[in-house]
Chains A and B, each alone.
Chain A
Amino acid sequence: MLKVIPVYAQAGINGFESPAAEYRELALNLDELLIEHPTATFIGRAKGDSMTGVGIFDGDLLIVDRAALPGTLDVVVANLNGSFVCKLYNRERQQLLSPGTGQRAYQLHQGDVFEVEGIVVRSVRLHRFARQLSQCLR
């Protein structure tokens, strides 16, 4: 994302310089807040209701960071046997949890292909219709 500091040319001869000009700063940029590691982050869209227990609902945007430091219990996006899933991952017990469904924990075993793709560091709820996502391939 291009960051431009808007500084307007002032010749100093008209005498009506804005009194606030010296205080001009960049407007708030959501990327700054949502994306800590820009090169390591991708955005996905949640499909399904198994993660409502941690506040992720169908259609939410997931900000997935591949460079975030892992904790013992993380909301992750992982490749589970060839497809991306979002689960609460208990590293110690090697379990995938679906909080909010009453589903039993999924115990990872030897035969599974399992790779943590990244950690879901933020999720975004869209309370109103977003035109850009209206035809999301799903």
Chain B
Amino acid sequence: MFALIDANSFYASAEQVFDPAVRRRPLVVLTNNDGCICALSDEAKQLGIKKFGPYYQSEQILRRHNATIRSSNYALYDDLSNKMMRVIGRFGPRQHVYSIDECFLDLRRWQPTMSWERYANAIRDTVFTELRLPVSIGIGATPTLAKAASFAAKQLGSKCGISVLRDATATEAVLKQLEVQQVWGIGKRLAARLNAMHIHSAWALSQASARQLRQYFSVEVERTVRELNGVVCLDWDTLPLNKQQLFSTRAFGAPVTSLSALRQALAWHGERIALKLRQQNCGVKTLTAFAHANPFAKHDPFHRSTLHTFEEPTSDTRDIVGTLTQLAPKLFESGVLLHKCGAGAIDIIDSKVLQKDLFAHSTRTPALMACMDAINRKFGTNTLGMAAKGQHAPWHMKRQFLSPQYTTNWRHIPIINCE
């Protein structure tokens, strides 16, 4: 069996852990730059507010109901996520952390001595006791079935947030209630094509011929069908870890109209990309940079992007930031209100398979970058960096409603009333 443990409205729940005043009340968390709503408490959902909608559309109704608004507090979420994963990790021999708020337990070679329901209850109660985070749990014979069970636990009105696909009957009952699009790995487009083949429910998909679907679609769809039938096809160890492309993009806190501000913002993105490349032991061969105006604004659309190819793949912050700084004028036009910019490594090469160019001369030594990374790890993320990104960053993320970093910053630890 596999278990999928998933925190309910994780960001919203995390905001309520150290602030009892906002518990059991409508609360929404906004994305970077406070643009969209990315998480809602149950009470906010009951107001009919939709996830991923723009904030301004719901601002009035939220205010009318005296809802709490929070900016994304990643320092807090990351710390609570790590602790949650450690708590859950105690319940099984093999754990795979899938995202910030969900993880799998591989229970193939080990079984609890109690029933699956009691086991799931114990996980849920322990996470709540230790962290005040509510979780849902799905248990099934494969990761895909565990994911389907988890969906059932949340959406199909299971009271306790737990769903166990113990046997064929239980599995069939749940799969019949799931639309094909709700199956893990089946996206919107794929679902439309499956619908055209009269496959509408997860159950119908499980009954289709895996081999035939492989011919129409891909080996991934074949695997999904086999997983729905209880055959484990996914293996964490073989899943590709390194990303094929790396992007750092962000909307500006306030519109940018000067070249120097754009240059600084690109330098900031460059630093982030270079660091991610080094963490993955990769180098970038082709780099892209772009800037655009607000596509929803009334004025003319403006979008520019440009490419740069390095002679030899690099992960050196100086190369990447230097290049982006030089590309900035190509993206800039005076009089345009820039809304967003970013950079991306679109051709990444693993350092292990890197072919040295005989004629390229690189003066870069990895030791300096390793030293910089070590200093930043020890003393905090922005201790050492490129001056190109500037000292003050008015274009920086807007996080107007940020809560304190209760667990990672001494200055922000919760105050407890003893009066």
Is the CB–CB distance between A133 and B417 below 8 Å? Answer: no
Closest 7 CB pairs of A and B: A48-B419, A40-B130, A79-B20, A48-B418, A132-B410, A82-B21, A44-B416
Is the CB–CB distance between A45 and B415 below 8 Å? Answer: yes
Is the CB–CB distance between A42 and B21 below 8 Å? Answer: no
Q: Of the listed stretches A4-12, A19-27, A49-57, A104-112, name the one at the interface; the rest are far from the partner chain.
A: A49-57
Neighbour of A47 across the interface among B132, B411, B415, CB < 8 A = B415
Task: Say whether A85 faces chain B, with CB atoms less than 8 Å apart.
Answer: yes
List residues of chain A with CB under 8 Å of any chain B CB.
37-40, 42-51, 56, 58, 61-62, 64, 66-67, 77, 79, 82-86, 115, 117, 130, 132-133, 135-138
Is the CB–CB distance between A47 and B404 below 8 Å? Answer: no
Is the CB–CB distance between B131 and A77 below 8 Å? Answer: no
Task: Say whether B86 faces chain A, with CB atoms less than 8 Å apart.
Answer: yes
Neighbour of B418 across the interface among A50, A67, A82, A135, CB < 8 A = A50
Is the CB–CB distance between A51 and B418 below 8 Å? Answer: yes
Known A38-B86, A40-B130, A84-B415; 10 more pairs at CB < 8 Å = A38-B83, A39-B87, A44-B413, A47-B418, A83-B21, A84-B417, A85-B417, A130-B410, A132-B411, A137-B411
Task: Say whether B91 faces chain A, with CB atoms less than 8 Å apart.
Answer: no
Is the CB–CB distance between A42 and B407 below 8 Å? Answer: yes
- Contacts of B116 on A, CB cut-off 8 Å? none
Determine how close the nearest CB of chain A comes to the CB of B367; give it in whole angstroms: 20
Is the CB–CB distance between B18 and A47 below 8 Å? Answer: no
Bound-state Cα–Cα, A39 to B83, Å:
5
Task: Say whether B302 faces chain A, with CB atoms less than 8 Å apart.
Answer: no
Is the CB–CB distance between A66 and B129 below 8 Å? Answer: yes
Task: Say whether B390 faces chain A, with CB atoms less than 8 Å apart.
Answer: no
Task: Say whether B94 faces chain A, with CB atoms less than 8 Å apart.
Answer: no
- Contacts of B419 on A, CB cut-off 8 Å? 47-50
Bound-state Cα–Cα, A39 to B17, Å:
14
Determine how close the nearest CB of chain A comes to the CB of B21; give it in whole angstroms: 4
Neighbour of B18 across the interface among A42, A51, A86, CB < 8 A = A42
- Contacts of B412 on A, CB cut-off 8 Å? 136-137
Closest chain A residue to B406 by CB distance? A42
- Contacts of A136 on B, CB cut-off 8 Å? 410-413, 415
Neighbour of B130 across the interface among A39, A83, A135, CB < 8 A = A39
Bound-state Cα–Cα, A46 to B411, Å:
13
- Contacts of A64 on B, CB cut-off 8 Å? 416
Task: Say whether B414 faces chain A, with CB atoms less than 8 Å apart.
Answer: yes
- Contacts of B417 on A, CB cut-off 8 Å? 47-48, 83-86
Task: Say whether B23 faces chain A, with CB atoms less than 8 Å apart.
Answer: yes
Determine how close the nearest CB of chain B comes to the CB of A132; give it in whole angstroms: 4
Bitwise, B111-135 to A at CB < 8 A (1) or not (0) is 0000000000000000001111000
Bound-state Cα–Cα, A82 to B339, Å:
39
Bound-state Cα–Cα, A43 to B410, Å:
9
Is the CB–CB distance between A137 and B404 below 8 Å? Answer: yes
Provided the pairs A37-B130, A42-B18, A66-B130 are in contact, do residues A86 and B411 lie with their beta carbons within 8 angstroms? no
Determine how close the nearest CB of chain B comes to the CB of A104; give it in whole angstroms: 15
Is the CB–CB distance between B411 and A135 below 8 Å? Answer: yes
Is the CB–CB distance between B129 and A67 below 8 Å? Answer: yes
Is the CB–CB distance between B413 and A40 below 8 Å? Answer: no
Bound-state Cα–Cα, A127 to B411, Å:
18
Bound-state Cα–Cα, A26 to B292, Å:
55
Interface-centre pick from A37, A39, A66 (highest chain B CB count, 10 A): A39
- Contacts of A83 on B, CB cut-off 8 Å? 20-21, 417
Is the CB–CB distance between B416 and A47 below 8 Å? Answer: yes
- Contacts of A58 on B, CB cut-off 8 Å? 418
- Contacts of A47 on B, CB cut-off 8 Å? 415-419
Neighbour of B414 across the interface among A38, A45, A82, CB < 8 A = A45
Provided the pairs A39-B86, A79-B20, A133-B411 are in contact, do residues A85 and B416 lie with their beta carbons within 8 angstroms? yes
- Contacts of A61 on B, CB cut-off 8 Å? 413
Bound-state Cα–Cα, A67 to B410, Å:
22
Determine how close the nearest CB of chain B comes to the CB of A124; give it in whole angstroms: 12
- Contacts of B404 on A, CB cut-off 8 Å? 137
